[in-house]
Amino acid sequence: MNSPLPASFLTRSQDSAVADLCLANAQLVLPDRVVLGSVTIEKGVITDIAEGDAVPDGAQDCGGDLVLPGLVELHTDNVERHLEPRPEVDWPHLPALLAHDAELAGAGITTVFDAMRAGSIHSGKGRYIDYARKLADELLAARANGLFKISHFLHLRAEICSETLLDELAAFGPEDRVGILSLMDHTPGQRQFRDLAVLKTYVAKKRGMNDAEFAKHVQTLLDLQERFGAKHEAGAVAEATRLGAVLASHDDTTAEHVATSARHGVGFAEFPTTLEAAQTCRRHGIAVMMGAPNLIRGGSHSGNVAAEKLARNDLLDIVSSDYVPSALLLSAFHLARIWEDLPRAVATVTHNPARAARLTDRGALQAGMRGDVLRVRQAGQTPLLRGVWSQGRQVG
């Protein structure tokens, strides 16, 4: 896609993507401990971690504030909220992407996998129309032109209950560097929407359906599952391999669901809905991801297992902001109180998601890692962001 901006602007934007920085007299959240010290970033990469309260010339004195790695987000619906701020209201895509990017930077997220739906339904109220390929092109162009504050990757949500999933996935290739492909099965009566009353509340609020329209919507999804379910599931697994993407499951509920995920080669499970599913994930070596809003609110809005229950049972590996970007940082400090272990809690939003997505260059305060860092001060139990840096360049 051709950029409307002059080449000189793009060159300056890209040249400013890295910078030098030293944050000193800070409580550094290292992978295994918290120490008073400084972190130095040169040309966008962490070059030194030093202990002690010295403040070198030119360094930023953090006054004892915490410094931790930038947050890594694997599954957020936030971009869709900016694209469609109200039902059936389409917002211009580039301004939406830039607003989304700025919001995440302001929440301390320095790496994001932007979730976009693949798989359309072309009939009925509440239909979903193909948009992933076009949006991906726009996102990749903005990234190439240096327009984003933070690091963006693609996450394709493969909707099993659809008419066009495999055709839409075929439009992507290895050159797109799709990072994650998640298997979504929103067939009514199972997984996230075992309770049809919960589904009705959700879609009625989002799409304004009356009883007859909701009944037709449910039947449409059931018919699509019967026609395409097995074919789409097998095809999506094959497409993840072709694209070189990490495969994720979504809303696993039973031990059988998890066993199927394991056979597919799933790397991590997004939002398992029961304790049984999370326990089975652990036995199969599948990392468990839960939503930060669930954790902060003390429970699932749709009646599924509480993230805190999984945390207290040593069954929580990764946290996602899901639909509230600011909840990701809050969740780390909430987990730190539960576990009495800040480095372990911070890892659920930095190191663990980075490794699950096969990113080995970020997620920890270590020499050689990307200079993605946060400065945080606590006000009671609430973490306050005092600065956000992506590759040493301040973005928030």
35 and 79 housed in the same domain: no
Which residue bears the tokens 């809050």? 330
Is the Cα torsion angle 291, 294, 295, 297 positive or negative in sign? positive
204 and 322 housed in the same domain: yes
| Distance separating alpha carbons of residues 309 and 316, to the nearest angstrom | 9
309 and 346 housed in the same domain: yes
Task: Please name the residues in contact with 140: beta carbons below 8 A apart, sequence gap of 6 or more.
Answer: 154, 176
134 and 234 housed in the same domain: yes
267 and 352 housed in the same domain: yes
355 and 273 housed in the same domain: yes
Q: How many domains does the chain have?
A: 2
CATH of the domain at 59: 2.30.40.10
User: What's the confidence (pLDDT) of residue 198?
Assistant: 63
User: What's the confidence (pLDDT) of residue 392?
Assistant: 96
Q: How far is CA 70 from CA 24, 144, 287, 316, 369, in A?
A: 17, 21, 20, 20, 11
User: What's the confidence (pLDDT) of residue 8?
Assistant: 31
Q: Residue 292, CB half-sphere, CA atoms under 13 Å: how many?
A: 28
302 and 282 housed in the same domain: yes
223 and 149 housed in the same domain: yes
CA angle 365, 39, 391 (to 5 degrees): 70
User: What's the confidence (pLDDT) of residue 228?
Assistant: 79
312 lies in which domain range?
71-361
- Written as tens digits, the pLDDT of the chain (396 aa) is 333 333 333 333 333 445 689 999 999 999 999 999 999 999 999 999 999 999 999 999 999 999 999 999 999 989 989 998 887 788 999 999 999 999 999 999 999 999 999 987 766 555 667 899 999 999 999 999 999 999 999 999 999 888 899 999 999 999 999 999 999 986 665 556 666 666 656 666 666 677 777 777 677 777 777 777 789 999 999 999 999 999 999 999 999 999 999 999 999 999 999 999 999 999 999 999 999 999 999 988 777 999 999 999 999 999 999 999 999 999 999 999 999 999 999 999 999 999 999 999 999 999 999 999 999 999 999 999 999 999 999 999
Strand partners, 269: 249, 288
Helix (H, G, I), strand (E, B), or coil: what is residue 69?
A: strand
354 and 375 housed in the same domain: no
113 and 39 housed in the same domain: no
138 and 34 housed in the same domain: no
44 and 56 housed in the same domain: yes
User: What's the confidence (pLDDT) of residue 196?
Assistant: 62
CATH of the domain at 126: 3.20.20.140
